[in-house]
Amino acid sequence: MDHAHRSGTADIFPFIHMLERRDNLPATDRSLIRSLPFRIQTFVSGAELVAENSRPGESCMVLKGFAARSQFLRGGDRQITALHIAGDFVDLHAYLLKVMDHSVVAIGACEVGYVPHEAIRRVTQQSHHLARLFWLSTVLDGAIQRTWITCLGRRSAQQHMAHLFCELYLRLEAAGIASQNRFEFPLKQGQFADVLGLSLVHVNKNIQKLRSTRLVDWKDGIVTINDFDGLAELADFDATYLSLRAEPR
């Protein structure tokens, strides 16, 4: 079975924590977010959360685990164009775009909350500030996408890996689900290759090179960054694009 429904209240702490890292979130806005009618589903690794060419009437938020935006070529090759963590509204843009131009799949076990577009319309009409914060969510997706393109085009494979580890740690920390330079990273090497746009052999070689620096360890689905500043220097990492400053939006 690819997915299962679960009753109960959605755990939206990561989403609220992420917003509060970037702006003041009044109690009224938190209440509006909690009023959203989440339809909760769990997925096994590789299951499709959102289908390409579909016209979803809902947008989904990752509640637990990782998900990936994916595009496939005719020959079957895949490029993962984004990784999403708990607290990410994966396809909020579908509310306006209507037709999905890519699929979203679970990376490892994943729990998702689907919210009807009509409910999103209701809360954003009630709070213009919350509407801006939802907009911020999609703007951050665009900023991350631009940086990923730069990594694909101009950074070495080792730098690209290091950059991704720096990014994911700060995003997970901002969502309140990572600390002390350690985080869960459930990707298999083949999935990592689809992120980096490299062959499995090339990925394996560069993972070994990165490990040899002793700046970072990746073992049993856990990444430990031993020297964040050193890893950031190797990656030429600048966190500006993640907009982690708390200021009025």
Residue 116: enclosing H or E segment and its boundaries? strand 103-116
Of 118, 105, 202, 199, residue with least CA distance to 158 = 202
pLDDT of residue 98: 84
Residue at token pair 């070994």: 208
Give every residue of the chain whose pLDDT is below 50, as ranges: 1, 7
pLDDT of residue 1: 44
pLDDT of residue 8: 56
Residue at token pair 């998900």: 67
pLDDT of residue 74: 86
Read off the pLDDT of residues 95-117 as tens digits, 9 standing for 90 and up: 888 888 889 999 999 999 999 99
pLDDT of residue 3: 62
Task: Say whether 80 sits in a helix, a strand or coil.
Answer: strand
Strand-pairing partners, residue 42, are 4, 111
pLDDT of residue 2: 60
pLDDT of residue 4: 65
